[in-house]
């Protein structure tokens, strides 16, 4: 219990004579305010607010000076949820210089929790500012490194997260440190190294965090049964005292159940996740997908509209769009598509690239988006996105090569199977295409309606090709017999 | 105003997104949370004291887990975890000083559902008897004794976990057998126990008695004020009031421990299973590794109040056999004594800050030492004014500091075999461990006669509800229907 705060710490941090930041930040803020004016609608829902008012308020806050980290993390925090109250409570402690270092660290993790709860990545930035404050108090402290690493990971700066994780592992090697390392490696497609990190993590401390990560690893390796068992263990270790975590692992379990052809169980798990956390967007998204797969398009629209409202990302918009098309609600679809087209390239380029390729609107942009993503996040799904973009642009040969990279881990995923089918077929690998088709047809419910339609078309093509081949073969055989 | 503040903050969140030039992407949907507590494996308190049960002199042990169960949050969520190995350890003879377990009593749980084709996870109707057809989610458990010297394990028996107290579905927990009423208060005799608790008490062969299930959290203290720079208040606020926990209790016949002419040590651990990340060539199977200790608890407040943050995890992972090497420093030079002097007693310096061999004697190794040679300890009920369930005559929440002592036949104690009636000689439900600890730290127990200052405490002097004076002693769980925190 460190009761004596380092009283000088706060004063040092909040003083406004930090020349290092002053000038560039002033310029940056001016630029950003202009940029915000034009781009704010592409930020999160909560950030879509009138900028005329913002400018004035912002001026009040920054008072023409660079905001320093301590001022930012102590900005009045609204909200009525438990996390909101906790954030305000810890801000109060910091203002009173109570347990300052620990309180800042705690506040940082509360901002991470808030980001997860609200799907508002702006809170990661506040968490990052907390890491800056920790660094100011104790340069290169492990607490600050872990917090910053978690922020970088969530902002998809995986290489940066890996660097910090390696530093932490060398410095102290706690289970969290290995977890962060494994996560950053996993996202970069370095599964073998990630497995080593996760093994160390679970050897030190088996718990929800470790079980959930190992479940995900097994799922990526195509072992859905083991993934389900492990995620069930994570669910057992969850608690309503940490509702977002409980909802998260329960929704992941639901996803595996859905993939395993058990939509009823999956829906039950979604219901449980929503008990933990009301209006939990990922659970609503999955529930919408289950409804859509059951042909209940209008019901799906209701659920998906809510999930998209809570988390307006391409993943959510695309599924909602499909549900609206299925329900024949084309007018509503127009505005959703407009949102998707406007924000997709910046908020989730990989999914947007997939969407473009699937919806027949593929162009150079979809390839560029996937390629850019690949430079940062070389996992199987980014390889798949690039392969699909290449195929959609008529480059079947390169698409086939890229698709092999997407399939290398054996991931059990309907969309991967669908893409593999089409790409193998288009690149002249008929036997492979037929094999992937069989896999894709095991549970076509995993695909969106438009994907199912395309799969059906390629199934017909493969069937006709097979029929054609059979006819040719039988004619050849007959000729051969006649010659004999 | 609220709207303005909200907008202002959102403005800055927007700004922050842009301040760092890298783009903000969507969540990867793959990252599990990184730092989450593990409440099902998180120990709250360990208790150990001498009683007569069914005419047998018994060492009563209890381990609480799952802190801060909010009664009103719903019945489905708080359960023992099938993947956790819960263990109460008892050290005898030389093992006490060495911090080694002689016997371990392991609780392992199994969860089943009578009907999975329903959304009614816990209850299918009003539960009349534990395990009946209305108790959908049902946990059973085994208790296995491990004899570490003989390397032998023996199944002592199995039991069933009663339902959590939800209200209408579990009326027998509550006053007037009415699910709308508060939980039944503590009782003085076994026949007054509520039906579910009574049915869940299981007698094993050789005189063991066991219970596992939801209870009120019997710990009391103003934790918020203590960790708020020791800025105590009067009256204090019981931070645990109104919260439930899950508890395992085991009565161990003292004859099974080699008789009562000895001082034994008690502590508890929880462990989770390691798993092998890579498959072993066989898909669909999970290979499990050994259990890994994730939490440990002996005396109250040691890890919470004396061990520094940087070593708290280490404490949780290690055995008491390493306490002398790793954690003696925290008992010999307790930071809390320094803080008490600096914050509470300033400008005086009341608490000795160094060479606290007396504090080391209590906490190192971190086992609750219980003198088995004494008679049964005095128990807390509902206070001295509770007519139906009064505290035992002579009971004091302050133990020896309140004149509540026992007589030992195996140690001189504070003279003529006088030993504390409660913690740190064992730990009873109702012991005011915060006040006892602060008083002990402020006093000097190294000299004879000891110099006692205080008592000093947190101004929380009792639990929010009465204890039972019969097994399992811990109070009835709060009713989720009518009890929730704001």
**What is the arithmetic mean of pLDDT over B10-36?**
44
Does position A2 have pLDDT exceeding 70, yes or no? no
Number of domains in chain A: 1
Q: What percent of chain B has pLDDT over 70?
A: 91
pLDDT band, very low/low/confident/very high, at B435 (cuts 50, 70, 90): very high
Find, in chain B, the residue whose alpha carbon is nearest to that of A235. B81
Tell me the pLDDT band of A65, cut-offs 50, 70 and 90. low
**Tens-place pLDDT, residues B238-257:** 999 999 999 999 999 999 99
Please say if the pLDDT value at position B39 is more than 90.
Answer: no
Q: What is the pLDDT of residues B49-97, one digit of tens each?
A: 999 999 999 999 999 999 999 998 865 679 999 999 999 999 999 999 9
List the domain range (segments joined by +) for residue A475.
361-484
Residues B115 and B106 sit within 8 Å (Cβ to Cβ): no
Alpha-carbon gap: B486 to the closest alpha carbon of chain A (Å): 10
- Establish if A136 belongs to a structural domain: no
Helix (H, G, I), strand (E, B) or coil at A249: helix
pTM: 0.87
Question: Any residues with CB less than 8 A from the CB of B482 and at least 6 apart, and which?
Answer: B72, B167, B180, B181, B182
Q: Let me know: does B136 contact B118? Beta carbons within 8 Å.
A: yes
Q: What percent of chain A has pLDDT over 70?
A: 82
B346 shares contact with chain A (CB less than 8 Å): no
CB B124 within 8 Å of CB B114: yes
Q: Looking at A12-16, A150-154, B154-158, B352-356, which range is the least confident one?
A: A12-16
Residue B133 · residue B449 · CB < 8 Å: no
pLDDT level of residue A66 (50, 70, 90 thresholds): low
- Rounded Cα–Cα distance for residues A14 and B132 (Å): 62
Contact A388, A419 (CB under 8 A): yes
Query: Does residue A138 contact residue A160 with C-beta atoms inside 8 Å?
Result: no
Rounded Cα distance, A237 and B224, in Å = 26
Task: Show the tokens assigned to B458.
Answer: 């947190």
Contact B289 A125 (CB under 8 A): no
Beta bridge partners of B87: B106, B269
DSSP at B477: P
Is the confidence at residue A252, as pLDDT, over 90? yes
Q: Tell whether B12 is within 8 A of chain A (Cβ).
A: yes
A–B interface: beta-carbon pairs under 8 A = 258
Q: Taking Cα atoms as reference points, which of A349, A341, A318, A358 lies closest to residue A451?
A: A358
- pLDDT recorded at residue B17: 40
Q: Which residue has the higher pLDDT, A61 or B137?
A: B137
**What's the pLDDT score for residue B309?**
84
- The answer on pLDDT for B386 being more than 60 is yes
Residue B24 has pLDDT above 70, yes or no: no
Residues of A in contact with B66 (CB under 8 A): 239
The upper half-sphere exposure of residue A246, i.e. CA atoms within 13 Å in the direction of its Cβ, equals: 23
pLDDT of residue B120: 83
More confident residue, A406 or A241: A406
The pLDDT of residue A455: 94
CATH number of the domain where residue A476 is located: 1.25.40.10
Q: Which of B36, B40, B147, B183 is nearest to B481 (CA)?
A: B183
E-state strands within B259-383: 263-275, 288-297, 368-371
Record the tokens describing residue B375, joined without a space: 């008679």
pLDDT at B328 over 50: yes
pLDDT score at B34: 57
Would A442 be classed as within a structural domain? yes
Chain centre distance of CA B399 = 19
Spell out which residues of chain A touch residue B292, defining contact as CB-CB under 8 Å: 203-206
Alpha-carbon span B137 to B117, nearest angstrom: 12
Q: What is the pLDDT of residue B76?
A: 64
Instruction: Read off the pLDDT of each residue in B205-213 and give the average, rounded to a whole number.
Output: 97
Taking the Cβ of residue B150 and every Cβ of chain A, the question of whether any pair is shorter than 8 Å is answered with: no
CA distance A73 to A108: 8
Among candidates B77, B272, B292 on the partner chain, residue whose Cβ is nearest the Cβ of A239? B77
Q: Give the mean pLDDT of A13-35.
A: 30
Instruction: Report CB contact under 8 Å: B36, A282.
Output: no
pLDDT at B119 (0 to 100): 80
Contact between residue B430 and residue B463 where contact means Cβ atoms under 8 Å apart: yes
What ipTM describes this predicted complex?
A: 0.87
pLDDT given for residue B11 in this prediction: 42
H/E run at residue B34: none
pLDDT tens readout for residues A284-302: 999 999 999 999 999 999 9
Beta strands at B244-253 and B209-216: parallel, antiparallel or unpaired: antiparallel
For residue A161, count other CB atoms closer than 10 A to its CB: 25
A347 interaction partners in chain B (CB closer than 8 Å): 24-26
Residue A472 placed within a domain: yes
* CB atoms near residue B84 (< 10 Å): 26
Least confident range of A78-92, A443-457, B34-48: B34-48
Contacts of A288 (CB under 8 A, 6+ apart): A300, A301, A303, A304, A307, A319, A320, A323
The pLDDT tens digits of the residues spanning A381-432 come to 999 999 999 999 999 999 999 999 999 999 999 999 999 999 999 999 999 9
For residue A311, the model assigns a pLDDT of 92
Chain centroid to Cα B408, Å, comes to: 26
Å from A47 to nearest chain B CA? 5
Domain assignment of residue A419, yes or no: yes
Chain A closest CA to B466's CA: distance in Å? Answer: 26
Residue A164 backbone zone (phi > 0: left; psi -120 to 50: alpha; other: beta)? alpha
- Indicate if the pLDDT at residue A453 is higher than 70: yes
């Amino acid at each position: 219990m460190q009761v004596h705060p380092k009283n000088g710490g706060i004063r040092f941090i909040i003083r406004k004579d930090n020349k290092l930041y002053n000038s560039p930040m002033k310029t940056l803020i001016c630029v950003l305010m202009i940029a915000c004016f034009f781009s704010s609608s592409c930020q999160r829902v909560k950030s879509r607010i009138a900028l005329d008012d913002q400018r004035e308020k912002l001026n009040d806050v920054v008072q023409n000076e660079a905001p320093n980290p301590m001022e930012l993390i102590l900005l009045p925090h609204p909200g009525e949820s438990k996390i909101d109250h906790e954030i305000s409570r810890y801000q109060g402690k910091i203002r009173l210089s109570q347990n300052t270092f620990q309180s800042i660290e705690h506040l940082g993790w509360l901002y991470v929790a808030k980001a997860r709860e609200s799907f508002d990545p702006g809170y990661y930035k506040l968490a990052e500012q907390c890491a800056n404050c920790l660094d100011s108090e104790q340069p290169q402290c492990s607490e600050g490194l872990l917090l910053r690493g978690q922020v970088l990971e969530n902002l998809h700066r995986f290489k940066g997260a890996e660097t910090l994780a390696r530093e932490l592992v060398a410095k102290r090697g706690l289970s969290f440190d290995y977890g962060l390392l494994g996560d950053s490696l996993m996202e970069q497609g370095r599964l073998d190294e990630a497995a080593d990190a996760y093994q160390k993590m679970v050897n030190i401390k088996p718990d929800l965090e470790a079980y959930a990560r190992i479940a995900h690893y097994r799922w990526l390796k195509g072992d859905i049964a083991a993934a389900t068992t492990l995620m069930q263990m994570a669910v057992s270790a969850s608690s309503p005292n940490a509702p977002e975590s409980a909802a998260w692992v329960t929704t992941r379990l639901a996803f595996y159940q859905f993939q395993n052809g058990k939509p009823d169980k999956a829906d039950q798990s979604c219901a449980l996740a929503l008990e933990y956390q009301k209006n939990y967007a990922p659970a609503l998204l999955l529930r919408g997908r289950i409804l859509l797969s059951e042909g209940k398009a209008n019901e799906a629209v209701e659920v998906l509209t809510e999930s998209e409202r809570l988390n307006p990302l391409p993943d959510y918009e695309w599924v909602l769009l499909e549900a609206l098309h299925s329900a024949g609600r084309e007018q509503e679809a127009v505005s959703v598509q407009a949102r998707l087209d406007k924000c997709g390239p910046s908020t989730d380029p990989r999914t947007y690239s997939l969407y473009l390729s699937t919806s027949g609107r593929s162009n150079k942009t979809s390839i560029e988006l996937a390629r850019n993503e690949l430079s940062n996040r070389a996992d199987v799904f980014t390889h798949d996105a690039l392969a699909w973009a290449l195929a959609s642009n008529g480059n079947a040969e390169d698409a086939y090569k890229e698709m092999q990279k997407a399939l290398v881990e054996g991931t059990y995923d309907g969309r991967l199977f669908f893409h593999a089918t089409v790409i193998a077929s288009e690149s002249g690998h008929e036997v492979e295409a037929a094999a992937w088709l069989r896999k894709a047809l095991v549970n076509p419910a995993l695909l969106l309606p438009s994907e199912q339609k395309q799969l059906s078309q390629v199934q017909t093509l493969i069937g006709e090709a097979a029929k054609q081949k059979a006819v040719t073969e039988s004619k050849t055989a007959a000729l051969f017999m006649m010659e004999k | 105003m609220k709207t303005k503040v909200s907008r202002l903050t959102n403005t800055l969140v927007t700004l922050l997104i842009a301040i760092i030039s890298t783009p903000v992407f969507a969540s990867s949907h793959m990252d599990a949370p990184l730092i989450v507590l593990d409440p099902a494996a998180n120990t709250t308190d360990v208790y150990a004291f001498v009683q007569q049960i069914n005419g047998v002199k018994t060492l009563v042990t209890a381990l609480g887990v799952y802190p801060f169960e909010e009664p009103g949050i719903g019945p489905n969520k708080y359960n023992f975890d099938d993947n956790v190995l819960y263990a109460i350890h008892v050290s005898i003879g030389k093992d006490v000083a060495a911090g080694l377990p002689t016997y371990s009593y392991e609780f392992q749980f199994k969860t089943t559902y009578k009907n999975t084709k329903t959304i009614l996870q816990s209850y299918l109707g009003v539960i009349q008897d534990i395990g009946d057809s209305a108790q959908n989610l049902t946990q059973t458990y085994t208790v296995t004794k491990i004899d570490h010297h003989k390397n032998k394990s023996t199944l002592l028996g199995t039991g069933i976990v009663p339902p959590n107290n939800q209200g209408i579905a579990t009326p027998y927990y509550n006053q007037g057998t009415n699910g709308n009423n508060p939980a039944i208060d503590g009782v003085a005799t076994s026949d007054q126990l509520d039906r579910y608790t009574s049915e869940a008490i299981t007698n094993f062969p050789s005189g063991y008695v066991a219970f596992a299930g939801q209870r009120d959290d019997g710990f009391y203290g103003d934790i918020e004020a203590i960790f708020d720079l020791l800025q105590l208040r009067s009256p204090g606020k019981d931070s645990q009031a109104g919260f439930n926990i899950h508890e395992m209790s085991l009565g161990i016949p003292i004859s099974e421990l080699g008789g009562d002419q000895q001082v034994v040590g008690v502590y508890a651990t929880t462990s989770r299973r390691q798993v092998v990340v890579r498959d072993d060539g066989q898909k669909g199977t999970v290979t499990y590794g050994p259990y890994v200790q994730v939490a440990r608890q002996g005396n109250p407040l040691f890890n919470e109040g004396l061990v520094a943050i940087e070593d708290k995890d280490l404490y949780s992972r290690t055995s008491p056999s390493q306490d002398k090497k790793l954690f003696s420093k925290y008992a010999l030079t307790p930071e809390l004594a320094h803080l008490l002097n600096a914050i509470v007693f300033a400008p005086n310096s009341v608490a000795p800050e160094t060479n606290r061999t007396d504090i080391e004697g209590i906490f190192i190794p971190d086992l609750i030492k219980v003198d088995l040679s004494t008679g049964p300890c005095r128990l807390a009920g509902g206070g001295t004014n509770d007519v139906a369930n009064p505290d035992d005559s002579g009971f004091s929440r302050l133990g020896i500091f309140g004149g509540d002592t026992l007589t030992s036949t195996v140690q001189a104690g504070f003279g003529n075999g006088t030993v504390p009636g409660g913690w740190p000689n064992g730990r009873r439900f109702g012991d005011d461990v915060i006040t006892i600890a602060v008083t002990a730290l402020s006093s000097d127990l190294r000299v004879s006669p000891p110099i006692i200052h205080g008592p000093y405490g947190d101004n929380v002097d009792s639990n929010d509800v009465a204890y039972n004076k019969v097994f399992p002693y811990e109070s009835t769980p709060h009713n989720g229907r009518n009890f929730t925190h704001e």
